[in-house]
Amino acid sequence: MSFDEYCLEQYPSNDAFFYLWRNRPSVIIGLNQNAYSEVNLGYLNAHDIRLARRVTGGGAVYHDLQNLNYTFIGRDVSPQPMVDALRSLGVEAALTGRNDIFVDGAKVSGYARRVWHDRQIVHGTLMYDVDLDTLARVLDVPGSKLEAKGIASVRSRVTNLKDRLPQFPSLDELQAALQELLSAGDTELPFGEERRSAVQRISDEKFSTWEWIYGQSKAADLVREGRLPCGTVEVRLSLDRGVLTGVDFGGDFLGGLNAGTLAEQLVGLRFTRETLGAALEAADPGRYFDRTSSQDLLNLIIPL
């Protein structure tokens, strides 16, 4: 994401250019999305899957090393060159009106666009042999999403390209072929150490920060329900910019003190396991929910 932003805003080129790239397992959410209502954060944390936020709109996408990403930057760019390249390789690819590339009625690529001054960026995914089971799990949010402002992901039937491109038994080979087709003999642009350092600074100061990844999240209301030692507990959560703005406990459970008092103590806190875990430990939830530990309640509020 940092490389994309640097190339769009700072790389000196009067001509359009492109690059192909891959990420280790990660989920990339759109600029206007709520991380908590779009992504199964517990699954990501348990499986070392990175979460990032891009500067373009659209929905959440899953990347792994069997997914190829593309970026086009210039004054008037589109994903059409990628469609043309796929068609030249024998794949009947077509653009849709919803920022996707489809093959035989299934999505193989989603892309997004951003305008900056007189330049544009179009970047997207290209699914070669993506782990579709993991893709489904990372975008399956536990608990019910009541309402989330901003943009929600549009779910489409997805498919991989591997079976449609038997002449390319590996993504490395497909990437090399696409690189050749898209470049059409043009030369490679230089990108030295000074520019690499600038990209790293953008990552450190913006794209890797909690404020960017979580703090940009628009308002959302979530509900969690589960069976705890005290009985059935339902908790309704209101979030804005990654901070709890409302908490309400309900359900069929036993407890001594009024759970509303505990709810009030959680309002204003960052919605992270670390922050809420410390607050619950200090509050001693067993006083509100019989025989229920802080870890029990934390796992309900933010599932692993």
**pLDDT tens, 81-107?**
999 999 999 999 999 877 899 998 899
- Give the chain's radius of gyration (CA, Å): 22
pLDDT score of 145 more than 50: no
Stretch 256-271: mean pLDDT: 93
Tell me, what's the pLDDT at 300? 93
Q: Where are the domains of the chain?
A: 2-213, 220-301
Q: What residue spans of the chain are helical by DSSP H?
A: 2-9, 35-38, 41-46, 80-88, 132-138, 171-183, 193-202, 210-213, 259-266, 273-283, 294-301
Q: Is 24:64 a contact under the CB 8 Å cutoff?
A: yes
pLDDT score of 219 more than 50: yes
Q: Name the percent of the chain lying above pLDDT 90.
A: 72
Question: Considering only CA atoms, which of 149, 119, 102 is closest in space to residue 8?
Answer: 119
Encode burial over 134-168: b for 16+ CB neighbours within 10 A, e otherwise.
bbeebbebebeeeebebbbbeeeebbbbbebbeeb
Stretch 149-164: mean pLDDT: 72
Q: CA–CA separation, 64 vs 224, rounded Å?
A: 29
With a CB cutoff of 8 Å and minimum separation 6, the contacts of 63 are 22, 23, 24, 25, 26, 27, 28, 69, 125
Please report which confidence band the pLDDT of residue 42 belongs to, taking 50, 70 and 90 as the band edges: confident
Mean pLDDT of the chain: 91
pLDDT score of 51 more than 50: yes
Indicate the SS3 state at residue 232: strand
- In the numeric block, the tokens 């090399």 are attached to 176
Indicate the SS3 state at residue 270: strand
Q: Which region among 134-148, 163-177, 209-223, 241-255 has the lowest average model confidence (pLDDT)?
A: 134-148
Tell me, what's the pLDDT at 91? 95
pLDDT score of 154 more than 80: no
Q: Is 224:234 a contact under the CB 8 Å cutoff?
A: yes
Tell me, what's the pLDDT at 142? 65
Tell me, what's the pLDDT at 221? 85
pLDDT score of 144 more than 50: no
Tell me, what's the pLDDT at 153? 56
Residue ranges of E strands in the chain: 17-21, 26-29, 50-53, 61-63, 67-74, 93-95, 100-103, 106-116, 119-127, 144-148, 220-228, 231-240, 243-250
| Stated pTM of the model | 0.79
Q: CA–CA separation, 299 vs 304, rounded Å?
A: 6
Tell me, what's the pLDDT at 241? 87
- In the numeric block, the tokens 């608990």 are attached to 143
Strands 17-21 and 243-250: unpaired
Tell me the fold of 2-213: BirA Bifunctional Protein; domain 2 (3.30.930)
CATH 3.30.390.50 for domain 220-301, yes or no, is yes
Q: CA–CA separation, 244 vs 265, rounded Å?
A: 10
Q: What are phi and psi of 135, to 5 degrees?
A: -55, -45
